Structure 1
């Protein structure tokens, strides 16, 4: 920021008694049509008071983010006056100034805010942060992320802490346009809410329907100083380009663009709230399994949803793993994958290490697993199962909880039940259970002339790819005799001359 300003109201706004409906030029950089009488200073304080009562801030401690700009300095002034009226409107408040350290004058900004708070007798904490673009989000988004992290952390330190920020109607217009250009869906186009919950903390914007010109007017009325951020004129940043290059063009076509956008975003937010409720209900109908790694969805149930709910269900699930601004293209790639009929399996990659993949009537969304190199990693032994002394065996593998059971029998049943979850082995002392065998290994399924690769056995049995590296395989003397849920091989065939064991396997549940 640069020098301290005390704006001249006549220079900024012209005559105070201009007739309603006349176009006037504010120093926002573009024309705005007056839509009814502008708020005066008393009305602004009344609206702020009503906001505090609506959100029951009389019992809350408000943490205010103050940068030193005119918007946040006016919010600070409003909070200060609200505390010293005949009826206190806040349970308490304090100021947090986040020093991003991105500009040479950032230390001066911090000193300016701290000094003004000291004059008012308001507690102010300066929080230095380090801004790193670790997610490819851009320096603007990274700065915003760490700023909110600092504000929310301070608010959580109070029993009834809330965050107050000074976004106004032009900020809402800019946010709407930026999200529209980036391809956001309905939730994103709703832009900023007057009240929201962020990481468990109420985040409130009491000035969202107030014009910036009215904020400047209030600052002039109460001699509220502020500092101008010199980077606000730098069109290298996306928001500044929208503000200085695009919004003047929109205002030339529609002078009431701010007011129209406020009305539109409120409608979108109401529609979004209703549709979100419907999507959350639909989510319970289509999700088959949840874990910390991924979610499994029935493609049949998913296909029965309305197009709007399909997209919303996907968006909800993506946000569960990574709360980012997911684009329409991301959501649509998953929806298309889920509805494909031309292939049993396919996958798409997404930002932030997430992905979606389809396997045998199921769609999975979650963290992409690292590829398994079975040929080089080699098998992993799970257990040496002593059939004589241990009749039941349980273990977890690849997120599945397995139960094995051995039943001694004197002879093979006349008509043994054919089930991939049951196998008969002759009288042996123990069997070995392994996983991670190379998928190129060949086996000879019982009753089949010829052999198959393990990969083909897994595919024919519709065993999901993500489970194959940890799928248990039973061997005797180093040779595969049984792949539970898939095939029994012709190795160690029972010739019915003596006793043996019936082996049972059951994947009873998935581990979270």
Structure 2
């Protein structure tokens, strides 16, 4: 067994010399064997080994005894022990999670804390080949895609270092044999034998059938996982290149993309582009996203309706408006309005950009008029001017038109994304009449003439220009 694991470690460059290794230890056969294996390499590779154990407080006295067992084992073997008791049930209720997800989040947060405390480079976990088979089958059943179908990675970034899984090349039977040969007497978690969870049903009912067909089936699945990951990493690089053309804006909790540009990319890159955006918005902690979510997202973008919305897990909202699609943890209704005074000579800054004001006694020769620049007769204005967001019932008088036009209709006609409308700047005269909707239209208020003595010039600069 040692030879198999050593070859696997060498192949994937998992365990360099002179590093601090935190080993996640539950007290069961897999993690106890891994701790023993890493401890054996301590002197040879000049490692600093730390055991990290979490009592999730879900199994009463049994889990409390696991804590004591691991602590005593480490004391006997001269291994630094870090343990914690976490009320996972309370965390589960507070965050409305399943018990398994809640336990995982608490456990990994503790592992990250231990790594930071000891400046750890590596978190070693004892997932093995049978776990890999179970995971890949389970994700296939649930409709995973991309890297999700590849199952458990051998190595990935975590906290300030990496997670490694050197036992993915082993079967459960081989680990049990290792424990017997090294006089290790692990704890047994009886919940592993219940059929309550899908993973356990696959382990107890499906895996034995596969092993009868091929006792080394875990190695075939592991090989398939590595091949799939190689392919996915290549496709991800292509996807990143395409997404740079597709994404219009990217903020901490919000991404805006061009629908037309996305749907003109190859379909495999569309799906992976969606996944990359989710990885960014969820900050790497992507919940269970399946092919169903992906198909719903793509159908939303490709249908003929100019607008639509979709809810994703953990409060992520998706909505489309014309050629733009927004993915955000803030709903459209969460947008907060603003109002600020616009100086005649100076700059006012707001969420979407800034407006610059200048006053001239004669019309500047260099001035280039466009939708982002207007000229006003200063004497026809009432100061102070204001910049604010839209209000219910806003209207403006347009040059060459009788009556008024609703700002809402102006936004619709100009195909302004619904998520942008509540933040769009509107310049208002001191008496409340709308003077200008920057980037779109100006009103017929205060138009300059041959009799104008003072010219007010306003420039609008979008935050993305």
TM-score computed with the length of structure 2 as normaliser: 0.89
Aligned counterparts, 1:174-189, within 5 A: 174-189=134-149
Between structures 1 and 2, the one with greater helix share: 2
1:165 corresponds to which residue? Answer: 125
One of 225, 228, 245 as aligned partner of 1:268: 228
Change (3 A) 1:330 1:484: same
Aligned residues: 455
User: CA deviation digits over 1:20-48, x for unaligned, max 9?
Assistant: xxxxxxxxxxxxxxxxxxx4xx5356447
Partners of 1:231 and 1:469 in 2: how far apart? 52
Q: 2:430 aligned with 1:430, yes or no?
A: no
User: CA deviation digits over 1:372-424, x for unaligned, max 9?
Assistant: 69xxx9x7431153x3xxx222212xx322122233345899xx957464242
2:179 corresponds to which residue? Answer: 219
Partners of 2:359 and 2:294 in 1: how far apart? 50
Cα contact 2:352–2:425 (8 A) shared by 1: no
1:89 corresponds to which residue? Answer: 45
Change (3 A) 1:137 1:332: farther
Cα contact 2:357–2:458 (8 A) shared by 1: yes
One of 297, 302, 314 as aligned partner of 1:339: 302
Cα contact 2:5–2:169 (8 A) shared by 1: no
1:479 corresponds to which residue? Answer: 433
Cα contact 2:254–2:327 (8 A) shared by 1: yes
1:407 corresponds to which residue? Answer: 359
Change (3 A) 1:460 1:171: same
Runs of 5+ unmatched residues, structure 2 = none
Q: Quote how far apart the aligned CAs of 1:286 are.
A: 1.9
1:356 corresponds to which residue? Answer: 318
Partners of 1:264 and 1:250 in 2: how far apart? 15
Cα contact 1:410–1:500 (8 A) shared by 2: yes
Cα contact 2:371–2:438 (8 A) shared by 1: no
Q: 2:289 aligned with 1:326, yes or no?
A: yes
Cα contact 1:59–1:160 (8 A) shared by 2: no
TM-score computed with the length of structure 1 as normaliser: 0.81
Runs of 5+ unmatched residues, structure 1 = 1-38
Counterpart of 1:59 in 2: which secondary structure?
Answer: coil
Q: 2:411 aligned with 1:458, yes or no?
A: yes
2:455 corresponds to which residue? Answer: 501
- Which deviates more, 116-125 or 149-158? 149-158
Backbone CA RMSD of aligned residues: 2.8
Partners of 2:145 and 2:31 in 1: how far apart? 29
User: CA deviation digits over 1:116-163, x for unaligned, max 9?
Assistant: 111111111212223222554411121112112211221233345210
Cα contact 1:66–1:97 (8 A) shared by 2: yes
One of 110, 117, 141 as aligned partner of 2:67: 110
Aligned counterparts, 1:1-400, within 5 A: 39=1, 43-44=3-4, 46-47=6-7, 50=10, 54-84=13-43, 88-104=44-60, 105-131=62-88, 132-133=91-92, 134-251=94-211, 257-322=217-282, 323-324=285-286, 325-340=288-303, 342-371=304-333, 380-385=338-343, 387=344, 391-396=345-350, 399-400=351-352
Q: Quote how far apart the aligned CAs of 1:329 are.
A: 2.2
Partners of 2:72 and 2:276 in 1: how far apart? 44
Cα contact 2:195–2:201 (8 A) shared by 1: yes
Cα contact 1:164–1:204 (8 A) shared by 2: yes
Partners of 2:314 and 2:25 in 1: how far apart? 31
Q: Quote how far apart the aligned CAs of 1:363 are.
A: 2.3
Change (3 A) 1:337 1:90: farther
Change (3 A) 1:276 1:49: closer
Partners of 1:478 and 1:49 in 2: how far apart? 72
Counterpart of 2:391 in 1: which secondary structure?
Answer: coil
Cα contact 1:423–1:488 (8 A) shared by 2: no
Cα contact 1:420–1:484 (8 A) shared by 2: yes
Change (3 A) 1:90 1:165: farther
Change (3 A) 1:404 1:460: farther
Q: Quote how far apart the aligned CAs of 1:293 are.
A: 3.2
Partners of 1:97 and 1:411 in 2: how far apart? 75
Counterpart of 1:226 in 2: which secondary structure?
Answer: coil
Cα contact 1:420–1:488 (8 A) shared by 2: no
Q: Quote how far apart the aligned CAs of 1:364 are.
A: 2.2
Cα contact 2:319–2:327 (8 A) shared by 1: yes
Larger Rg: 1
Counterpart of 1:470 in 2: which secondary structure?
Answer: coil
Partners of 2:190 and 2:184 in 1: how far apart? 19
User: CA deviation digits over 1:51-110, x for unaligned, max 9?
Assistant: 79x3342121110011110111111111222225xxx13522111111111111111001
Partners of 1:417 and 1:124 in 2: how far apart? 71
Q: Quote how far apart the aligned CAs of 1:247 are.
A: 2.9
Cα contact 2:448–2:455 (8 A) shared by 1: no
